[in-house]
Amino acid sequence: MPRITFMPHETLCPDGLVVEAEPGVSVCNLALSNGIAIEHACEKACACTTCHVYIRDGYESLADPEEKEEDMLDKAWGLEPDSRLSCQAIVGDEDLTIEIPKYTINLVSEN
């Protein structure tokens, strides 16, 4: 099984986390099922950017993002070449290193 490393995040996982994952699970569901409360305001429907992550290692092992995801990523805070929406990034057969950005754009919570 692939080994997924979540890098330390100040509030969501201060010590970081390393877990094994079944191929076919989304990075978002993997984070949530392991106690990392990553935002997912659209309930994982690829309709927001709150679950935006950086795939620091293993990006090439993921399927290419679909056009809908690419369109949403254009709206993400801190977009980088290795950015993905964690609800759309599906774990394959290779290890991944994930960084959760410090900020998200959550239009539901902004006043």
Percent pLDDT > 90 in the chain is 90
Q: What is the pLDDT of residue 111?
A: 36
Residue 49 has pLDDT above 90, yes or no: yes
> In CATH, what number is assigned to the domain containing residue 51?
3.10.20.30
**How many structural domains compose the chain?**
1
In a domain, residue 107? The reply is: no
The structure tokens listed for 48 are: 């927001």
On the question of pLDDT at 71 being above 80, the answer is yes
Q: Which domain holds residue 41?
A: 3-99
User: What is the mean predicted confidence (pLDDT) over 2-7?
Assistant: 98
Q: Exposed (0-12), middle (13-18) or buried (19+): which is 100, by Cβ within 10 Å? A: buried
The answer to the question of residue 109 being in a domain is no
- Rounded to whole angstroms, the Cα distance separating 91 from 13 reads 20
DSSP string, 8-47: PBTTTBTT-EEEE--TT-BHHHHHHHTT-----TTSSSSS
Distance CA 7, CA 108 (A): 26
User: What's the pLDDT band for 106 if we cut at 50, 70, 90?
Assistant: low
